[in-house]
Amino acid sequence: MMRQVITAMNRKLLRDLWNIKGQLVAIIFVMASGIMSFVLSFGVIDSLELGRDVYYDRYEFADVWASAKRVPEGVKEQIAEINGVAQIETRVTFGATVQVEGMDVPATGRILSYPDEREPLLDKLYLKSGRLLNPDEEDAILASEAFVVAHQFTLGDHIDMVVNGKKRSLKIVGIVLSPEYVYSLGPGALFPDDKRFGVFWMSRRALEAAVNMDGAFNNVALRLSRDANVEDVKEKLDRILKPYGGLISFDRSEQMSNWYVENELTQLKTTGTITPIIFLCVAAFLVNVVMTRQVATQRVQIGMLKAVGYSNAELAAHYLKMVMVVVVIGSFLGLAGGVWLGSGLLNIYSQFFRFPYLHYTYSVDIMILSVGFCAAAATAGTWIAMKQAADLPPAEAMRPEAPTEFKETILERLDIDKFFSFLSRIVLRQLERRPIRAFLSAVGVGFALAILVFANSMTDSMNYMMDVQYNIGNRETVLLGFVEPRGISALEEIKLMPGVMKVEPLRDIPVLLKHGHLSKRTGISGIRPDPDLHRVLDQSLKPVDVSGGGLVMSRKLAELLGAKVGDMVDVDVLEERRPQLSLPISAIYDEFMGIGAYMDIDRLNSLLNEGPVVTGAALQTDPNWNGPLYQNIKDVPAIISMAIMVRMREIFEQIMDENMMRMMAVYIVFAGVIAFGVIYNTARIAFSERSRELAALRVLGLTKGEVAYILFGELGFVVMVAIPMGLFIGYGLCAGMVAALDTELFRMPLYIKNDTYAYAVIVVLVSALISFYLVWRQVDKIDLVAAQKGVE
Amino acid sequence: MPDFKGQGANPAMLDAVNDKNMVFKTDAITKQYGMGELTVHALRGVTLEVPRGELVVLLGPSGSGKSTFLNIIGGLDQPTSGDVHFEGHALADMTDRELTYFRREHVGFVFQSYNLVPSLTALENVELITDIAENPMPAREALEIVKLKDRLNHFPSQLSGGEQQRVAIARAIAKRPEVMLCDEPTGALDSETGILVLEALQNVNRTYGTTTIIITHNAAIANVADRVIYFADGQVAKVVKNDHPKDIHEIGW
C-alpha cells in the first residue's frame, strides 16, 4: 500500500507544498530567472571566446602586420631572418570604389591578393559558399560575407569596381570569412558599416597586374614563434620596410577587426557578468527571505513535532526536502532555460560576430556555481528559520507567538494618533512591532525594483551617449574625407554644392603617440578653436578648447599613455614624410566615445610645415537637397568617404541593439519576473502569517474590506517604503555598471531617464495590485468557523 | 500491561530504579522566566511523587504553575533548579537527543489546542507517531480506542473540537507511552464532548495502566482521579488521595 511507502511526514510535505503552490511557483521562477541569466550570459560569452580562439587558431590569424608603398618580393628573405618570425605572407592590397546600383552613397572596398597555386599561409579564408580562386583567374573575386549579405548579392553576381582608376566588372565566385576582417571598418569609419565597406580577394598575379605591383608587395603579415619578443620584431620590421615607405607595424592589439572584437566582447562580458551576478544575488536573497518566512509560519507545528518526539535532525530533513523541491525545480528550469535561451542568443550573435565555428558551450562549473549559490541561500534561510523554531523549548514554540511588548506607537507618543482611523492605527502598530520583518520585505521589493531600473538604464545611457555624440556635439549632417590632403580652397568648391549651408575644415593625421614606454596608435584631428559644427564635448557637455596650442586628449587615451596635462608626448606621424614631433598635452577631457586627440588645425598644419590643408570637411546641409548633394559628392573622385551622421547613428544603434541590448532585453524580462515573484510572495506570506488574526477580526465583526485594509495597508506601506529604496539601489547598481563598462570604444555615461524609473515603479505597483487581488481572493475564503476551531 | 520494549533501547534508562512504584519524582524544582524586575516565579520549589498507573489531576488557578510543571516533567522545558527523575533517571542529565527519545517513546502529550497537523488526515496525524515510535500500536487501533474509526480520512478542519482532541489522544497513546501528560485537554470543549475525551483518557489509564496526569480547572473532574494535586502560587498546596475514584459517567460537570 502507498501508506507504507510514504510516511506521514512526507504526506505532510506534499500537502504543504500543494497548499503554497502559488508561492512556490513564484519563488521557483525567481530562482530560475537568476540561474537562467547566469547560465545564459556566461554560456554565450564562453562560446564567443571559444569561437574566436578556434577561428584565430585554425585560420592562422597573424600576429603582426605592416604596410608599405612598394616592397620588392626579395625583401621577404630579410624579414624571415628576424628573430622570432615563424611564418610570412606577403600581400598586395588596394583600395577600390564599389559602385552598387541604387546606392546614393558610394561604397568603398579593400582588395587583398590571394596567392596563386596555393592557400594563404596566414589569415586564411573560410569558404562559406562557392569556390576559391583559380591561379591567374582574372575578373573573379571572393567577397566578404558581410558585404554580400548587406547587398543581397549571390554567387555569380558581378560587382563594378574602380581599381587604380580603371573600372572593372568582377564576378563573385566565392563568399568567404577572414579572421582579419571579422569586422570590416571602412576608412575613417568609427563603426563597421557593411553596406558601405566590403573586403574582396583577387588572384595575386591578376591584382599585381592591375595595380602595377609585379614582383612586389605592399603589405605583410607575420606569425611569430611563441617566445618571440613582439616589440623587437616590430622594430626590426619597421627598419627593414622604412626605405620602401613602410608605415609603423602593428600587432593584434591594434589590428582594427580584432580591436573591435575585443571591445565588443569586453562590453558583453561586463554587462554579461555584472548583471547575472546581481540577478543571482537578488534571487538568492529573495529565496532566502521567502523560505525563512515560509518555515517560520510552521513554528507551532515544529513545536508540536518536537514535543511528540521528532528530533531536530528529522525536522531539519523535513524542511530541507521542501527547499530541495524548490531548488531542484528552480535549477532544472533555470539550467534548461539558460541553455535554450543561450543557444538562441548565440545564434543571433553569430550574425554579429562572424565566426565560422560558434557552438554553445555547456560550462558545467558555471551551472554548478549558480545552482549551488541558490541552493545554499535557500537552505540557509530554511535552516535559520528551522533552528529558531527548534531551539525554542517545544512548549514555547507551540504557543501562538507571544504578544510582543506593548509600546505606544510613534503616533501615540507624538499625540497625532487621533488623525488616523482605528484601522490605520492597527496597521501602524503592526509595522512598528515587527520593524525588521517589514524592513526585509521592503528590501526584497526594493531589489526587485532596482533590477528593473538597472536593466532599462543601459538603454538610456546608450541613447544619451549617442545624443551627445551625434546631436548635441557634432552638429554637422555630413562628414567628408579626402583621398589625400588638399588645399583649403577645396572647401570653396564644396560650399557651392547643392544644399550645403556651412562648411568647416578638418585635418586628420594617423599617428603613433608615445609617452615613456607606452604607445598608442590613434589619430590627431585638427579642428577650429571655435567650431560651430564639428564640436567635441566633454561629459559635462562643454566644448573642448583646443586654443591652448598643445594636444587635447580624452582621459582614456591619457590613461593608456600614462600621461597627464603638461607632459610631452612624442608623435610619429604615419604619413608620407613621417615627421616626428613632440607636443605638450594642454588639456585632458572626459569623453564618452573613442580615444581621440585634438589640436588647433592651423597649429597642426604649421607644425607639419604645410600650408592651410584639409583632409576632410564637416558640412551642415539642407535635408531637402540630400539626393542631388550625394550625387554631386559621389562624382568627386577626391572624396573617399562620406559619413552621414543620421546613418552613423543608425548603425551605432543597430550595433548596440545587436550586441549588448539583446542580452539586456532578456534581462528586462527576468527583472519583471523577479519583481512579480517577490511581491506576490511578500503579500501571500503576510496573509498566512496574519490569517488567524484576520479571521478573529472578521469574527469580531469587521467586514472583508476592513480586514483587507489591515492586510493591504501594511503591504502598501512596505511597497511605499520599497519604492524610494529601490530607486536608490537601482541608481547604485547603474553607477557600478557604468564604472565597470570602460572600453576604448566608449565609456558609458550614468544617465537614467525618468521614464525608466517610472516604468520600474509601474511594474512594481501593477505586480502589487495583482498580488493584492490574488490574496484578496484568499481573504474572501477565510473560513470563520474553521478559524475559530484553531485550525490554521 | 503493554510491553514497553522501547525502553530497553536506551541504556540511560536501564539502571536500577530507586523507587519502583514512582514514575516521576521531583525535588524542589523551581522555574523562573525573564530577568530583573520582570522575573516571573512560575514554580517555587515543587517536590512531588507520581506513582505508576495512577490517574492524577492537577488543580489550581491560572498561573499557579501547573503547565510549567507538566512541561518540565514531560521534558519540554528545563527547571531553573531542582531535579526531576523519571523511573529513577534524572532528566537534567539527559542530552537533547535522549530527551527527544524520552518524549518519543515514553510520553504521550495531549494539548489544549490539539495541535494537529492541518494538512494530514486523522489517521495520518496518528501515523506521524507510529512512523517513528519503536513499538507502536497500529494507527487504526489507536483511533478505534478513541472511537473514531469512522473518521480516519477526515482532515482536522472537517472534525469537531472534541473529535480533534480524541485524534490527539490517539496520537498520544499510539506509541504505548508510560505516561500521558494532558494540559487542559477539555479546556476548549463543551461538557458532553469533554466527557467523551475524558472517557477516552480514563479508558486508556484503566486498560493499559498508563500513568495519566491531567491539568484542569474543573474541580469536578477531580473525582475521577486517584490523586489530586492542588497548585497555588507556584507551589503544591496539598495532595489529596482518592481511594474510590468515580467513573467518568458518574460525575456532574
Q: Which of B105, B128, B172 sits opposite A8 (nearest CB)?
A: B128
Q: Do B78 and A301 touch (CB under 8 A)?
A: no
Beta bridge partners of residue A166, listed in sequence order: A163
Chain centroid to CA A495: 41
Residue at A292: amino acid letter? T
Task: Give the separation between CA A346 and CA A310, rounded to whole angstroms.
Answer: 51
What number is the average pLDDT over the span A147-160? 90
Q: Do A12 and B128 touch (CB under 8 A)?
A: yes
**pLDDT digits 0-9 by tens, A379-404:** 888 888 788 777 877 777 776 655 45
Residues 291-310 of A with CB under 8 A from B: 300-301, 303-310
In 3D space, the residue among B252, B164, B49 whose CA is nearest the CA of residue A792 turns out to be B164
**pLDDT digits 0-9 by tens, B78-112:** 888 999 999 888 888 888 888 888 988 999 999 88
How many beta carbons lie within 10 A of that of residue A665, not counting itself?
13
Range with the poorest average pLDDT among A231-235, A537-541, B117-121, B201-205: A537-541
Task: Give the separation between CA A54 and CA A37, rounded to whole angstroms.
Answer: 25
Residue A785: pLDDT band by 50, 70, 90 thresholds?
Answer: low
Grid cell listed for A17: 507544498
Q: Do B114 and A314 touch (CB under 8 A)?
A: no
Q: Do B103 and A786 touch (CB under 8 A)?
A: no
Per DSSP, chain A holds a count of helices (H) and strands (E) of: 24, 20
For chains A and B, what is the number of CB pairs under 8 angstroms?
A: 94
Q: Do B171 and A301 touch (CB under 8 A)?
A: no
**pLDDT digits 0-9 by tens, A473-496:** 788 888 888 877 888 888 888 888
Q: Do A792 and B118 touch (CB under 8 A)?
A: yes
What number is the average pLDDT over the span B198-205? 87
A401 touches chain B (CB under 8 A): no
pLDDT (0 to 100) of residue A95: 86
For residue A791, give how far its alpha carbon lies from the nearest alpha carbon of chain B (Å).
6
Residue at A141: amino acid letter? I
The answer to whether A642 touches A481, Cβ cutoff 8 Å, is yes
Residue at A66: amino acid letter? A
**pLDDT digits 0-9 by tens, A524-561:** 989 888 888 888 877 778 888 888 888 999 888 998 89
Rg of chain A on CA atoms, in Å: 34
**pLDDT digits 0-9 by tens, A738-769:** 888 777 777 778 888 888 999 999 989 998 89
Range with the poorest average pLDDT among A536-545, A779-788, B193-202: A779-788
What number is the average pLDDT over the span A495-499? 87
* Preferred mutation among B100, B104, B167 to probe A, highest tally of A CBs within 10 A: B100
Q: What Cα–Cα distance (Å) separates residue B212 from each residue in A125, B53, B164, B226? A: 92, 7, 19, 10
DSSP per residue, A444-499: HHHHHHHHHHHHHHHHHHHHHHHIIIIIIIB--SEEEEEEEEEETTHHHHHHTSTT
Q: Do B129 and A308 touch (CB under 8 A)?
A: yes
The better pLDDT of the pair A643, B232 is held by B232
| List of E strands, A568-709 | 568-573, 580-589, 597-600, 613-621, 639-644
Q: Which domains does chain B have, with CATH numbers?
A: 5-243 (3.40.50.300)
Q: Do A300 and B175 touch (CB under 8 A)?
A: no
Task: Give the separation between CA A355 and CA A397, rounded to whole angstroms.
Answer: 63
**pLDDT at B2 > cutoff 50:** no
Mark out chain B residues that contact chain A at CB-CB < 8 A: 67, 71, 74, 76-78, 96-97, 100-101, 103-105, 107, 109, 111, 113-120, 124-125, 127-129, 131-133, 156-157, 160-161, 164, 171-172, 175, 188
Q: Do A12 and B120 touch (CB under 8 A)?
A: yes
Beta-carbon-side half-sphere exposure of residue A4 (alpha carbons within 13 Å): 2
Q: Using a CB-CB distance cutoff of 8 angstroms, which residues of chain B are in contact with residue A19?
A: 119
Q: What Cα–Cα distance (Å) separates residue A197 from each residue in A175, A484, A588, B202, B236? A: 15, 19, 33, 99, 101
For residue B202, give how far its alpha carbon lies from the nearest alpha carbon of chain A (Å).
21
Q: Using a CB-CB distance cutoff of 8 angstroms, which residues of chain B are in contact with residue A301?
A: 115, 117
pLDDT (0 to 100) of residue B14: 39
pLDDT (0 to 100) of residue A345: 83
Q: Using a CB-CB distance cutoff of 8 angstroms, which residues of chain B are in contact with residue A396?
A: 77
**pLDDT at A354 > cutoff 50:** yes
Task: Give the separation between CA A408 and CA B11, rounded to whole angstroms.
Answer: 54
pTM for the complete prediction?
0.76
In this structure, are strands A140-144 and A166-177 parallel, antiparallel, or unpaired?
Answer: parallel
Beta-carbon-side half-sphere exposure of residue A54 (alpha carbons within 13 Å): 14
Q: Which of B104, B111, B164 sits opposite A398 (nearest CB)?
A: B111
Q: Which helix (H) or strand (E) holds B122?
A: helix B122-130
The better pLDDT of the pair A701, A370 is held by A370
DSSP per residue, A226-248: TT--HHHHHHHHHHHHGGGTPPP
For chain B, percent of residues with pLDDT exceeding 70: 90
* A754 CB-contact burial (10 Å; exposed 0-12 / middle 13-18 / buried 19+): exposed
Three-state DSSP state, A769 = helix
Range with the poorest average pLDDT among A82-96, A555-569, A679-693, B58-72: A679-693
pLDDT (0 to 100) of residue B55: 92
pLDDT (0 to 100) of residue B9: 39
Q: Which helix (H) or strand (E) holds A679?
A: helix A660-699
Q: Which of A3, A15, A786 sits opposite B119 (nearest CB)?
A: A15
pLDDT (0 to 100) of residue A105: 67
For residue A675, give how far its alpha carbon lies from the nearest alpha carbon of chain B (Å).
30
For residue B247, give how far its alpha carbon lies from the nearest alpha carbon of chain A (Å).
29
**pLDDT digits 0-9 by tens, A635-645:** 777 777 777 88
- Mean pLDDT estimate for chain A: 84
Q: Do A9 and B133 touch (CB under 8 A)?
A: no
Query: Which residues are CB-neighbours of A20 under 8 A, at least 6 positions away?
Result: A294, A684, A688
Residue with cell 518555515: A295
